[in-house]
């Protein structure tokens, strides 16, 4: 197994130890159970922004804990949702008195575990809201599937909501912002290679030297279609067009209703992109694709957005939400207002994302 | 009658069989999921096993609830809350019991399965553990109603569970990760259905 | 070939087009010949810091053009030194009136081409100095080899000298700083996999599933030794110890003597690390290794530096000097003074490195 | 006598043979270098070839200097400045000449080779192109001194070059990238020595 690891059973612990050793000024790692909070402790009077999910997507989420982004992150086992008690303890450690917003990627496990965590925290008197991110257009409908996966939009939402939380936005407004940003975002991913989870030691799928997978998620799972490997222009065009021409998307969301004191389901519809939209464009490496190739993707992606009358006002290019050492990339486009752009430009200082301070 | 000792036995046997099949379950999950189901089940039930000695003074309901808490806090993923809910609901219904007769067994199983259905919103045919759990719950209810012994009921439950597992193979998944694959999820056996079958088999073997 | 590219002949051009499209606010790419300057033009009255080398190491060097780092970068063909005329034109475009410092990685081609470029620029009346970076301890002696390769230290030197240039340091002092930093730095690299150059389409070396190469450079060349793959602890320890226990290193350097108006050769000796040294630690991915694994490397590396009484005062962890999609890592340690640390902390705003503004 | 037409022929033939052997030279460079020598030589000489028509009015010295500038500005790497210097020094010595006799050939070659040696500081035995260039320069000097014809001299030069290439195989490299490999550079043929041999062979073939 081509990995820089020791015993597969200790991978997460040791990598977190390394992370703690590297960034004692930024983060504090709790072991047993695992959660990562800001080195400076909770932000008094501000909503605590928390996320979490299976490990293997680094720098997400632990690398995004710090000023202007997350207050805490819960790493699960590799590709496995963390558990409610972990999330609950992270919420208690990060809570600054103004409630907690959990950013939850839409996977059956993550959603269920974060719901249970929210219930535990609320039983402790902490106000908690869960907003689910589901931006992956590779999953077509929500009626016959577990719904769209939460992928690249998560990173952008953590940055933007993190800036808003830093500025003191209250839980309700922050939840609205988070929901809006998710509704404004769509993503699509592809893989040239599979990846190897340390405990299994072999690739999660076999793929020929001349093949690729389109419509993958971030867990080494096969995508929606296997094809002959194409040029970057063809790949970037297919992905961008899938995102831009994706129609209205409707699914049922579940959020906590603080007046009724219960989970309430609502039907929510995302509108398609339209000419004149301003977007943040995010070209992401799945871990094994170098940034040089991402620039090749960006080039064609921008050609396509230009042609559609979509204006890229900000971008992010690099390995931010990965699937271990998988080769491949994803594209995320998120429609933004001027106010959102200001949040994007606001200072951020985390192990994985830094600017403005 | 299922004794408390047999319940503890069941948990130990479940843990053993899930450990033996760790690779196998993970391999099933590799094809249509994210390659962790065997590892998840092993991690959870290994912890359950390590705590069996702590249950000496507890009734069956309390034991099952303790199992639930352990699974919820160690398994993660989808199967953690689902199996956690199964044992939590089953344990709640069995509160105070030192042994289980046929009716209790049926009630326990139905409560657990309904819990999983509520939590995960899956229906039979969605290619999940529900394709094993629901027919097994029904078979147990029927067999007990028809006066079958606990032992016979469980032997029959194993057959139903095995059929449930096989039935998942041609299905297109509608819940869980496998649903992302659409048509490509066909011709693969569901890992969660498989682990459910193993746990049911462990119960039958513990009772005899 | 598992790459996100179109025609191998156009890879560099298209990736530079993508880079230009992504960062018009930061950089300006010149095509025919290729060079990258700051979007804002030359910095009047400041030394222009320039580097360059073969492509395939992104984000180095083009990704380091911007405030607080390079003024220009010259990308060659993949793994091939750029040419003197390219470097010469870049120098003319970036020159702010206070001379040019070329940071040259020690490869036969780079050194010769940059020398010819310096001569061309000086013929145009531009004061130019070349400082060669040679930090790779995998190359033991300089008598029987082309000398130590320039690897990870290049990134740190570009950051630190970039900050000093931004603060107005003159050419002579900046050259001294550059030379000192190079003498203070040592690196070691390893690979789990080979890499594929687009025009060749196949791996530069075959390597078994249970093998690794120790002592590699950044050009897909085999290293000094092939071994059975070891644990990250063994690998990180071996690399760190190689760096820390590397003895005095002597070689002949060639710099321009402005009083004699000719190239002058000097013998220069680097002293080994010693207890009590403060260092910047840089754990680098060769391109295909995800940051999670780098944290595993960092963990052990820090254990070893701690044991040697070496104090890590700053660190950098990620893919900054890569060999295409190669899996593997390198460790660089650079002894620094408090003044150097201040330069490290100074603002930098480039496509590949951002903080402080 | 080598005519100007034969010089242009030489450059075209060199370009052709380097194009044909692009993969081969790169493969040699893959083993002990960075897998680009064939691509570098192809890029440079392809450009040289595209400019041959521009040389109609130039003397041989000017042609060789133009080739030098083209190689320097298109090849890059180590071979760019080295071959560039070869042609620059050779061209400087041949300034104004419309054809080359045996003595001129010897002077030209010596000037080119000395240029490469000055630029790259390699000695024979270092496993570089010098292991071809230096013995070839010596052989040409000797043969011409001994009164051999230009044609015979060049035929002999090809033999010497081929031997020089073969001689690089057992060597441990002391210059260039291959030197990083130490002992591991043994048993591999030097790519630059190989391209030098091809260029010398092209010259011999052009002269006939
Ligand atoms: N909504 C659901 N309801 C019931 N069972 C489900 C549901 N979603 C997934 N499962 C079951 O969970 C199994 C996967 O468990 P596991 O791999 O441990 O979790 P994850 O999918 O989070 O990686 C599936 O094989 C399926 O049987
Ligand atoms: N110092 C030197 N003197 C003479 N020839 C050299 C020297 N260094 C390298 N070479 C030659 O250059 C060849 C490599 O050229 P090339 O691959 O094009 O450049 P690079 O090594 O920069 O990738 C080697 O095979 C060798 O023959
Ligand atoms: Mg999982
Ligand atoms: Mg799974
Ligand atoms: Mg090269
Ligand atoms: Mg080469």
Q: pLDDT tens digits, residue range A96-155?
A: 999 999 999 999 999 999 999 999 999 999 999 999 999 999 998 888 899 999 999 999
- Cα distance between residue B194 and residue B2, in whole Å: 24
Please indicate if any CB of chain C lies within 8 Å of the CB of A287: yes
Residue C72, pLDDT > 90, answer yes
Give the pLDDT band (50/70/90) at residue C222.
Answer: confident
Question: Contact at 8 Å (CB) between D168 and D190?
Answer: yes
pLDDT of residue A222: 86
E strands, chain B, in order: 2-3, 99-100
**Radius of gyration (C-alpha) of chain B in whole angstroms:** 16
Task: List pocket residues of ligand 1, CB cut-off 6 Å.
Answer: A 80-81, 108-109; B 29, 33-34, 36-37, 40, 77-79, 82, 116, 120-122, 128-130, 175-177, 190-193
- Nearest by CB to B76, from A109, A145, A221: name it: A109
**Domains of chain B, first to last:** 2-207 (1.25.40.340)
pLDDT of residue C229: 97
- B104: which residues sit within 8 A by CB, 6+ positions away? B2, B94, B97
Share of chain D above pLDDT 70, in %: 100
Residue B71, pLDDT > 90, answer yes
Average pLDDT, chain B: 97
Angle at C61 between CA C167 and CA C144, to 5 degrees: 105
Q: Which atom of ligand 1 is nearest to the CA of A107?
A: 22
Pairing of the two strands A211-214 and A225-228:
antiparallel
The pLDDT of D75-89, averaged and rounded, is 97
Average pLDDT, chain C: 97
- Cα distance between residue A34 and residue A217, in whole Å: 24
pLDDT of residue C314: 98
Nearest to A72 by CA among A56, A91, A54, A55: A91
- Cα distance between residue A94 and residue A27, in whole Å: 12
Chain D residues with CB-CB distance to C86 below 8 A? 73
What DSSP character marks residue B171?
P
pLDDT of residue A87: 97
Prediction ipTM score:
0.95
* Number of C-beta neighbours around residue C173 at 10 A: 12
Q: 18-77 in D: which are within 8 Å (CB) of C?
A: 26, 30, 32-36, 39-40, 43, 72-77
Chain C residues with CB-CB distance to A329 below 8 A? 4
Residue A271, pLDDT > 90, answer yes
Give the pLDDT band (50/70/90) at residue A202.
Answer: confident
Active site residue A340: no
Residue C202, pLDDT > 90, answer no
- Cα distance between residue A304 and residue A239, in whole Å: 10
Residue nearest to atom 1 of ligand 2 (CA): D120
What DSSP character marks residue D74?
H
What DSSP character marks residue C62?
G
Q: Which atom of ligand 1 is nearest to the CA of B190?
A: 25
pLDDT of residue A203: 87
Distance C145 CA to ligand 6 centre (A): 15
Give the pLDDT band (50/70/90) at residue A332.
Answer: very high
pLDDT of residue A221: 86
Question: Contact at 8 Å (CB) between A145 and B179?
Answer: yes
Residue nearest to atom 18 of ligand 2 (CA): D37
Give the pLDDT band (50/70/90) at residue A30.
Answer: very high
Distance C80 CA to ligand 2 centre (A): 11
Residue with tokens 């191998």: C8
Q: Which helix (H) or strand (E) holds D75?
A: none
- Cα distance between residue C128 and residue C92, in whole Å: 11
DSSP string across C274-313: -TT-EEEEEEEE-BSS-HHHHHHHHHHHHHHHHHTT-EEE
* 8 Å CB contact of C296 and A16: no
Question: Contact at 8 Å (CB) between D156 and D138?
Answer: no
- C272: which residues sit within 8 A by CB, 6+ positions away? C244, C245, C246, C247, C248
A11-348: CATH class: alpha beta
Residues present in chain B in total: 208
- C18: which residues sit within 8 A by CB, 6+ positions away? A294, A295, A296, A297, A298, A299, A300, A302
3-state helix, strand, coil split of chain D in percent (to 5) is 75, 0, 25
Q: 230-259 in C: which are within 8 Å (CB) of A?
A: 231-233, 235-236
Residues of C with catalytic annotation? 57, 219
Question: Contact at 8 Å (CB) between A175 and A129?
Answer: yes
Give the pLDDT band (50/70/90) at residue C204.
Answer: confident
End-to-end CA, chain B: 11
pLDDT of residue B54: 95
* 8 Å CB contact of B73 and A205: no
Q: Which residues pair with A186 in a beta bridge?
A: A333
Distance D108 CA to ligand 5 centre (A): 28
Helix, strand counts (H, E) of chain B: 9, 2
- Cα distance between residue A172 and residue A192, in whole Å: 41
Q: pLDDT tens digits, residue range B171-183?
A: 999 999 999 999 9
Give the pLDDT band (50/70/90) at residue C143.
Answer: confident
The region, left, alpha or beta by phi > 0 then psi within -120 to 50, assigned to residue B121 is left
Query: B71: exposed, middle or buried (C-beta count within 10 Å: 0-12, 13-18, 19+)?
Result: buried
pLDDT of residue C250: 97
Q: Which atom of ligand 1 is nearest to the CA of B131?
A: 27
- Nearest by CB to B175, from A83, A84, A146: name it: A146
Q: Where are the alpha helices (DSSP H) in A101-245?
A: 108-123, 153-166, 171-183, 232-244
Looking at CA atoms only, how far is residue B185 from chain A in angstroms? Answer: 10
* 8 Å CB contact of D36 and C107: no
Which one from A57, A67, A71, A308 is the annotated catalytic residue?
A: A57
Q: Which residues pair with A70 in a beta bridge?
A: A65
pTM over 0.95: yes
Question: Contact at 8 Å (CB) between C63 and C350?
Answer: yes
Give the pLDDT band (50/70/90) at residue D174.
Answer: very high
DSSP string across D13-52: HHHHHHHHTHHHHHHHHHHHS-S-HHHHHHHHHHHHHHTG
Residue A55, pLDDT > 90, answer yes
Q: pLDDT tens digits, residue range C241-280?
A: 999 999 999 999 999 999 999 999 999 999 999 999 999 9
Domain ranges across chain C = 11-348
- Cα distance between residue C173 and residue C303, in whole Å: 35
The pLDDT of C12-18, averaged and rounded, is 98
Active site residue A88: no
> Phi and psi at residue A72, in whole multiples of 5°?
-155, 155
Q: pLDDT tens digits, residue range B19-69?
A: 999 999 999 999 999 999 999 999 999 999 999 999 989 999 999 999 999
Residue C85, pLDDT > 90, answer yes
Q: Which helix (H) or strand (E) holds D156?
A: helix D150-168
Q: Does residue C288 have a cis bond before it (omega within 30 degrees)?
A: no
């Amino acid at each position: 197994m081509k990995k820089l690891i020791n015993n597969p059973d200790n991978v997460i612990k040791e990598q977190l130890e390394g992370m703690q050793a590297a960034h004692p000024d930024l983060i504090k790692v709790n072991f047993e159970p695992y959660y990562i909070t800001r080195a400076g402790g909770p932000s008094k009077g501000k909503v605590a922004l928390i996320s979490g999910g299976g490990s293997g997507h680094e720098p997400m989420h632990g690398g995004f804990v710090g000023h202007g982004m997350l207050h805490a992150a819960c790493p699960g086992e590799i590709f496995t949702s963390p558990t409610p008690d972990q999330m609950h303890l992270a919420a208690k450690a990060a809570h600054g008195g103004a409630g907690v917003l959990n950013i939850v990627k839409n996977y059956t496990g993550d959603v269920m575990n974060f719901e249970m965590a929210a219930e535990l925290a609320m039983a402790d008197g902490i106000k908690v809201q869960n907003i689910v991110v589901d931006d992956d257009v590779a999953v077509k409908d929500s009626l016959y599937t577990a719904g769209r996966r939460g992928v690249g939009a998560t990173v952008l939402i953590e940055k933007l909501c993190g800036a808003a939380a830093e500025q003191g936005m209250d839980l309700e407004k922050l939840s609205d912002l988070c929901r809006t940003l998710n509704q404004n975002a769509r993503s699509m991913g592809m893989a040239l290679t599979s990846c190897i989870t340390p405990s299994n030691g072999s690739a999660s799928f076999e793929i020929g030297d001349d093949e690729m997978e389109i419509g993958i998620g971030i867990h080494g799972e096969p995508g929606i279609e296997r094809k002959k490997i194409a040029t970057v222009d063809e790949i970037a065009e297919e992905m961008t067009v899938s995102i831009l021409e994706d129609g209205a998307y409707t699914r049922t969301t579940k959020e906590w209703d603080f007046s009724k004191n219960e989970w309430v389901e609502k039907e929510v519809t995302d509108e398609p992109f339209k000419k004149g939209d301003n977007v943040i464009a995010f070209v992401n490496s799945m871990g094994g694709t170098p940034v040089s190739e991402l620039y090749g993707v960006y080039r064609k992606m921008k050609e396509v957005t230009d042609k559609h009358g979509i204006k890229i006002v900000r971008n992010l290019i690099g390995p931010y939400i990965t699937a271990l050492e998988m080769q491949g990339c994803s594209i995320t486009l998120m429609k933004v207002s001027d106010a959102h752009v200001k949040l994007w430009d606001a200072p951020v200082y985390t192990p994985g994302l830094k600017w403005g301070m | 009658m299922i004794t408390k000792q047999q319940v503890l036995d069941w948990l130990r046997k479940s843990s053993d069989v899930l450990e033996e099949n760790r690779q196998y379950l993970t391999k099933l999950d590799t094809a249509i999921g994210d390659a962790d189901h065997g590892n998840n089940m092993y991690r959870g039930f290994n912890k359950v096993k390590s705590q069996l000695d702590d249950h000496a003074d507890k009734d069956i309901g309390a034991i099952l609830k303790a199992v639930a808490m352990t699974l919820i806090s160690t398994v993660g993923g989808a199967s953690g809350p689902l199996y956690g809910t199964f044992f939590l609901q089953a344990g709640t219904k069995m509160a105070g019991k030192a042994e289980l007769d046929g009716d209790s067994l049926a009630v326990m199983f139905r409560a657990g399965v309904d819990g999983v259905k509520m939590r995960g919103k899956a229906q039979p045919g969605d290619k999940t553990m529900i394709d094993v759990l629901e027919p097994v719950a029904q078979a147990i209810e029927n067999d007990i109603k028809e006066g079958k012994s606990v032992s016979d009921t469980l032997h029959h439950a194993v057959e139903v569970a095995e059929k449930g597992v096989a039935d998942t193979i041609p299905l297109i998944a509608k819940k869980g990760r496998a649903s992302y694959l659409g048509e490509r999820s066909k011709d693969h056996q569901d890992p969660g259905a498989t682990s459910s079958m193993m746990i049911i088999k462990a119960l039958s073997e513990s009772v005899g």
